Amino acid sequence: MEKLAKILVVVLILLVAAVPLLGQQIIAQPETIELRARMPENGGWSQEFIYGLVNVPIKLRMTSDDVVHSFALAQSSLPSVEIFPGKFSETELVFDQPGEYTFYCTRWCGANHWRMRGTIVIEGPASSDQPTSVPPLFLQLGLDLDAPHFARVIPSNRPESARASERTNALPDGLTDGENIWSKSPEALWKDLKADEDLDDQSVWDMVAWGLNQQGSSGWMGQGRELYTQNCLACHSESGRGDGVMVRDLPPMNHDKMGSEATRPPDFSDPAVLLGASPALLEGKIIRGGMGTGMPYWGNIFTSEQIRSLVLYLYSFQMELEERP
């Protein structure tokens, strides 16, 4: 049994090693690559892998075999390119670093739309100034993303960041430490502050909202709203209740079996859901996705800053946050 596993592993490794080689031989140094877009049910992108070299331009000639799609390069500021049936759209890409770059469709072309993703593999020498990446906090903390996480302590009024702003000349320690805020659920942060500060419950909730608000970079709210509307609304819905058009026919979420079966998303309008979840946990879920549940993974699509904006935007279903100037 073990031997079989070993052989399998060897074969798999050989296969993995062979795939880039094969691809390279067939389409090394492409001048122009034709990329056909199709709904995932019809086969998805005609090429899931595109190979290229550092600093050699790749010209993509794209068309659709069914409905309107759109080509976007993940983690980049490149505007997406619409792809129409019967027409060709072109775009040219140049990469100055080797690596794997994700491309994806940004049009809701069907229930499996988010599976329309592919990889551009770039080979060649790395330039020296490549930034080193830090693993996201949920990995550092070893969080179980699928453990139930309902909050028991719920504010009687909506927490409001602006109300706490007046007090911020005397900040408790827990609110000046970004990692502390990012690793604790709002409920846990509230309990910590409540134990240390001689303040009424609502004032402490307002401080929690203020602390979260400080974690966004400038423009986070607009960015979060835009990303949510474009990528999350179809399932999580505008109200955050989790009854978007794509999931209406699915059974409601079962929080005890989170992350295992296809259900509707959790109800973000229920305070117990979000106030019991730390930013690190929500971030982890967005990066990793829901495994078997239909919650897509976004880790290779958005930058870490975009994901932060999304996390904070989710909390705004439960608190009054404000854009900092």
Q: Which of 83, 164, 208, 246 lies at the binding interface for ligand HEC (CB under 6 A)? A: 246
Q: Of 100-139, which residues contact ligand HEC (CB under 6 A)?
A: 114
What Rg, from alpha-carbon coordinates, does the chain have? 23
275 is a site residue for ligand HEC (CB under 6 A): no
| 298 and 231 Cβ atoms separated by less than 8 Å | yes
CA distance 21 to 122: 12
DSSP 110-148: STTGGG-EEEEEEESPPPTTPPPPPPPHHHHTT--TTS-
Q: Annotate 299-315 with b (16+ C-beta within 10 A) or e (fewer).
A: bebbeeebbbbbbbbbb
How many beta carbons lie within 10 A of that of residue 93, not counting itself? 18
- Residue 105 binds which entry of Cu ion, ligand HEC, none, with Cβ cut-offs from 5 to 8 Å by kind? Cu ion
What does 137 bind: ligand HEC, Cu ion, none (CB cut-off 5 to 8 Å by kind)?
Answer: none
Which of the ranges 24-32, 68-76, 172-180, 245-253 carries the binding residues for ligand HEC, by CB under 6 A? 245-253
Q: Are 134 and 36 in contact (CB under 8 A)?
A: no
Which segment (13-21, 118-126, 192-200, 259-267) binds ligand HEC by CB under 6 A? 259-267
- Stretch of 9-17, 119-127, 173-181, 288-296 contacting ligand HEC, by CB under 6 A: 288-296
User: Which parts of 103-142 interact with Cu ion (CB under 5 A)?
Assistant: 105, 107, 109, 113, 116
Distance, CA of 38 to CA of 45 (rounded, Å): 6
Q: How many residues bind Cu ion (CB under 5 A)?
A: 6
Query: Residue 271 interacts with ligand HEC (CB under 6 A)?
Result: no
Which tokens sit at 205?
């909730």
Give the integer Cα–Cα distance in Å for 22 and 15: 10
Residue 284 binding target from Cu ion, ligand HEC, none, CB below 5 to 8 Å by type = none
Counting contacts by CB under 6 A, is residue 286 touching ligand HEC? yes
Rule CB under 6 A: choose which of 69, 285, 288, 308 binds ligand HEC. Answer: 285
Q: Taking CB under 6 A as the rule, does residue 69 contact ligand HEC?
A: no
Q: How far apart are CA 95 and CA 110, in angstroms?
A: 31
- Interface residues with Cu ion (CB under 5 A) are 69, 105, 107, 109, 113, 116
- Interface residues with ligand HEC (CB under 6 A) are 114, 231-232, 234-236, 246-247, 253, 258-259, 263, 265-266, 273, 277, 282, 285-286, 290, 293-296, 298, 310, 314
